[in-house]
Amino acid sequence: MDQQQIGLEMAARRAGRVLLCGLNDMATDLPSPAGKTLRVTVTVISTGEQLGTEDVDSTNAHDLGTLGSQHTKQQRTRRNPTPISKPNLRLVGGAK
């Protein structure tokens, strides 16, 4: 296994653990009255290593998904800004 692959797997493990910790924090600090209704399992795809599971409520899961979507839209807008329309102001008779 080359160094790049090892680095990618380490980054995947770290990201997965951060996700699980964040989900746990959300479920603990902002519990829903409905209780935990979803189970999220995180697995490193390239190795099949299961990093863990976390039970979360649907409200926090929805909020997390919404935040992710908003972040993606902001990044997309920064990379491909909306084209600026033609200017509507024209000089008549030239400037002196």
Residue position matching structure tokens 């829903």: 32
What's the whole-number mean pLDDT along residues 6-29? 93
Structural domain contains residue 40: yes
- Does residue 84 lie within any of the structural domains? no
The answer as to whether 52 is a domain residue is: yes
**The pTM is what?**
0.71
Give percent above pLDDT 90 in the chain.
50
Please indicate, yes or no, if residue 21 is contained in any of the structural domains: yes
DSSP assignment of 18-44 equals HHHHHHHHHHHHS--TT---EEEEEE-
57 found inside a domain? yes
Q: Is residue 14 one of the residues assigned to a domain?
A: yes
Cα dist from 50 to 13, 69, 71, 96, whole Å: 9, 25, 27, 73
Q: What number is the average pLDDT over the span 35-46?
A: 93
Confidence of residue 75 (pLDDT cuts 50, 70, 90): confident
Containing structural domain, residue 40 = 3-78
Residues whose CB is less than 8 angstroms from the CB of residue 45 and which lie 6 or more positions away in sequence, other chains included: 12
Asked if the structure places residue 90 within a domain, the reply is no
Residue 47 within any structural domain of the chain: yes
Q: Count how many domains the chain has.
A: 1
Q: Check residue 73 and give its pLDDT.
A: 85
pLDDT band at residue 78 under the 50/70/90 scheme: confident
Query: What are φ and ψ of residue 26, in 5° steps?
Result: -60, -45
